[in-house]
Amino acid sequence: MWASTRDEPPATVTIAWALDAHDTTIVDLTGDICTVTVQRIRTLLADVAETSPGNVAIDASAVTFIDGRGLALLLATQNRLAERQLRCRVVNPSRTVRKLFELVHLDDRLYKRVGYE
């Protein structure tokens, strides 16, 4: 977990990365995905996209805010994994995340309402 410095707007994000029994990489995001946090998250997701042995599920159930840069980061991660013939889905998106996905008509591309498949 990291917290913003005194020179940054208040924002925190917690990132956990693990593998499940099906070699799916699970990434848990918590907090705000915004201009302040996206660069740090980008580094982690780039590593996941390059090294994951299988599909990736990004759990966004505890994301409290997401902006356009956060959305672009999720799409870029999905595209990088697709180049490796792997899938990336957002699972359990918070209401805030779901609303943004639906607003920009990317809900079917980024997540399925029934969960990761």
The model carries a pTM of 0.80
Model pLDDT, residue 112: 59
- Tokens matching residue 30: 């918590």
Cβ neighbourhood burial of 35 (10 Å; 0-12, 13-18, 19+): middle
Q: Considering the domain boundaries, does residue 8 fall inside one? A: no
Residue span of the structural domain in which 46 resides: 16-110
pLDDT digits (tens, 9 = 90+) for 57-79: 999 999 999 999 999 999 999 99
115 domain residue, yes or no: no
The C-alpha atoms of residue 61 and residue 64 are separated, in whole angstroms, by: 8
DSSP assignment letter at 89: E
Please check whether residue 104 lies inside any domain of the structure: yes
Does residue 41 belong to any structural domain of this protein?
yes
Domains identified in the chain, total number: 1
CATH number of domain containing 84: 3.30.750.24
Domain contains 48:
yes
